[in-house]
A and B are shown apart, each in its own frame.
Chain A
Amino acid sequence: MKYFTILILIMIIISCSGLKETEQNKIRIKGSDTMLLLNKKLAEEFMMKNEGISVYVDGGGSGTGVKALMNSEVEICAASRPLEPKEIKQIGEKFNTVGMSFLIGRDALSLYVNPENIVKELSLEEVNKIFTCQITNWKEVGGKDEKIIPISRSSASGTHLYFVMHVLKGNKICDSIKILNTTNKIIEFVKSKKNAIGYGGIGYGDSTFHCKIDNIEPTTKNVLNNSYPISRYLRYYTIDKSSGNVKKYIDWVIGKEGQMIIKNMGYIPLWNSNYSY
């Protein structure tokens, strides 16, 4: 009986230790759809080099990621926008911290049009007016006399919030604009409708045309020299300063290998291979 009791205790201890170990070796990331493919690729490469650590990636939009972080469903929220004041407040109330932000790369927002569209360039002001329905016909911006069909991401999307803040200057998109949930759906829509216009990261949308904005092409070079007007940082958020495998993962993403993957996936790495000023 005595030995049996001891055996049970040992099993419980081993079992508990095992569970703890499993949890520590599992990293969960949720958030930005813009970053979804990138996060999956980063996770895949990281797992190949770090046996025993699993990384789970999910999308749903930056806002969804923040909620999951606050509910302790994930260790990392991927966001294509900074946290909103109310989100910081919620983190503050629950965890007594304001959250940690990690810059991992840069992205530029492209305006996608159908390759058949003769309009290849727009000003920021024209984009603003198109998405607030003050401009509704392509002829008003140098195109054919045909109705513009704008398409937008949902309000859960960090891309959408960034677009509202930096392109629409806080104005809302007009109610008649169709909403789609992912960047890929936006691209498919623009590809299939010659008068459509949508927006998303420059790493997406090879089958569409990426408009010049204010006469500047959306290229890596123009983002790095700050001339392209709508670029943003991609971020990870954690509740507190990361440690253990989460820190290891984020350090790896910010390091040489992670940055190379970010570059190869069509985004803009924070640092080039040479580290000069």
Chain B
Amino acid sequence: MKIYLIVLFFFLSHTAYIAQICSSEKKCKIDKDKIRKHLEILGSDLFEGRGTGTKGGALAANYIATEFKKIELKPVGEDSTYFQNVPLHGTTVLDNSKLIFFSSLDTLQLSLREDYILANSGEQTIIPSAIGLVFVGFGIIAPEYDHNDYLEKDVTGKIVVMLNGEPESNSNGFFRGDEPTIYSYPDVKHRIAIGRGAAGTIIIPQIRLDDEKAWHHLVNEYSFEDVKLPYTASENFSIILNPNIAKQLFVSGKIHPNSVLNCNLFSTSGCTLEFEGEFFQRDFKAQNVVGVIEAKKNINNEFVIISAHYDHLGIGPTINNDKIYNGVLDNAIGVSTLLEVARVLQKNQENLKRSILFIATTGEEKGLLGSSYYVDHPIVPLYKTVANINIDGAAYLDDFNSVIGIGAELSDLEKYLENTANKSQVKVSEIPKEFYSYEAFNRSDQIAFAKAGIPSLLLLDAPDYANLRYDEAINKIINYDSKIYHTPFDDLSTNINYGATAKHAEIIALLIYNIATSKDKINWEKNVPYNYIRLQTLAEKR
């Protein structure tokens, strides 16, 4: 999913160190051929990109459930199956939708996808009568940084126009320097706007006006069905406007003769807008696939959750005659790793003091829907769930010497990771500075578990490879991010070093084994916001 860092990681040949978590019997070792077999099935065209609520998605869920059964995980889903049904609501915007801008001099009907894309869909987004626009800079109210874009602006009943992102910063004291804050997220901006009475939002992405590819990339990202849980925070009209159109609209409309990217000079005075949206809506259920290894010595009835999302984008816009978004690295490889880790850990059941719940989640690409639904409807109590290890991507480029524990520093999981890394003869690295802006902890299922108070981490291989220089590795990662991620090219033609993937799986298996054979509490660091929620779930035994 939104895990660009997925690519960050690679590697090692299978002849290198192999973490032994049980005896030296072959059945207890990670088998790279089994990972390969799962990957070649889940990543094949037969599974049609495993879109949420599609035939391919259902096929993938059934395949994972069959594998869970083969390795004798206990079914803990509905009616003693491996499935937790996740109710979902899908909306597809239709081409006959009409978005019309009015200025004092002109009227312009915009073209869906070419000129704008919808960030929200559905009946709550319709604006039948033209209403006014107000420009609010970045649309941020951040008291801790003494920043308020809404000062002396009444946006009640109006459409708010804002720039994507947040103010530039060179210091951690003001919008955290290079690292984006939560205020940069479009949904947070939208929530701030509608909380102040706005009838909707227009977000102008900060991409170069001559960068057609960047706009088309964005259009592709939003070309898929908009899927949400049937319960959401209130939302209304929200679009992303092509910066070229923004410039044309607000400059040629004689509103203001400045670039749309210069927020201090930008004005929308005199502009109004109406939107007659036409949608196809449907309601359906997709499945989280759930199975448990029961610990023999589980005195405290505690659990560790291992998650990996099995959904990808499904079938989408055709690129180079290919319309199947296979998602081999995102995240067929993660699910394949999870299946092999589960097989190996099952062989070691008798030593476990904590049970292990495996969840192959749905709807991650649509906004962490499967994991969010799970924590709202947990199968085992949240307060009895000691940790979540999420797998989103796995090493595939080359043998690696270091790993990164995304989110590990927030809790005692850091100690388990360091211990595991030592035993596995790898180092623990920081996120490379080139990827500070990726906000990796917030971009996959581990954040949903963290928000429910469960200490969580995502383990990735670091760009510290046996056969690749650092700069070569970074270039490969950037290339993946810009040219392969969320395209049909993330497919089985990818050259995968299965030895590296197996090593990654071994480290994950050992990490889980270390947690599940321990009785020690796993706490959040003090002042981490998720600790507050953890203390509540513990107090309420929820």
A residues at B contact (CB < 8 Å): 82-83, 85-86, 88-89, 91-92, 96-104, 106, 164-166, 169-170, 224, 226, 232-233, 237, 241, 250-251, 254, 270-271, 275-277
Contact = CB atoms under 8 A, between A and B. Distances in A.
B234 A89 contact: no
A85 B87 contact: no
Chain B, interface residues (CB within 8 Å), range: 35 or more
Q: Is the interface of B mostly helix, strand, loop or mixed?
A: mixed
23 contacts: A82-B123, A82-B234, A85-B157, A86-B197, A88-B197, A88-B234, A89-B195, A97-B195, A98-B195, A98-B234, A98-B235, A101-B231, A101-B232, A103-B231, A224-B282, A233-B123, A241-B231, A270-B230, A275-B284, A275-B285, A276-B58, A277-B53, A277-B54
Given A166-B123, A270-B283, 13 more contacts: A82-B234, A85-B199, A85-B236, A86-B156, A86-B157, A88-B195, A89-B197, A98-B194, A100-B232, A102-B230, A103-B231, A226-B281, A254-B230
Interface in B19-63: 53-55, 57-58
A271 B157 contact: no
A12 B412 CA distance: 42
A100 B197 contact: no
Contacts of B156: 85-86, 89
B57 A277 contact: yes
A85 B155 CA distance: 10
Contacts of B285: 271, 275
Given A103-B230, A275-B85, A277-B57, A226 B236 contact: no
B143 interface: no
Interface of B: 53-55, 57-58, 85, 87, 89, 123-124, 126, 128-129, 156-157, 191, 194-199, 230-236, 274, 276, 279-287, 376-377
Of all A-B residue pairs in the complex, the 10 with the closest CB atoms, nearest first, are A89-B197, A170-B128, A92-B195, A82-B124, A170-B129, A275-B285, A270-B283, A103-B230, A98-B234, A85-B199
Contact of B283 (A91, A97, A164, A271): A271
A92 B57 CA distance: 38
Contacts of B87: 254, 270-271
Q: Which of B195, B230, B231 has the largest number of chain A CB atoms within 10 A?
A: B231
Contacts, number: 106
Contacts of A276: 58, 284
Contacts of B198: 85
A83 B195 CA distance: 12
A117 to B, nearest CB: 28
A91 B195 CA distance: 8
A136 to B, nearest CB: 23
B55 A277 contact: yes
A99 to B, nearest CB: 5
A85 B58 contact: no
Nearest to B61: A277
Contacts of A96: 195
Nearest to B197: A89
Nearest to A99: B234
A86 B236 CA distance: 12
Contacts of A224: 282
Contact of A277 (B58, B236, B280): B58
A100 B194 contact: no
Nearest to B233: A98
A96 B141 CA distance: 13
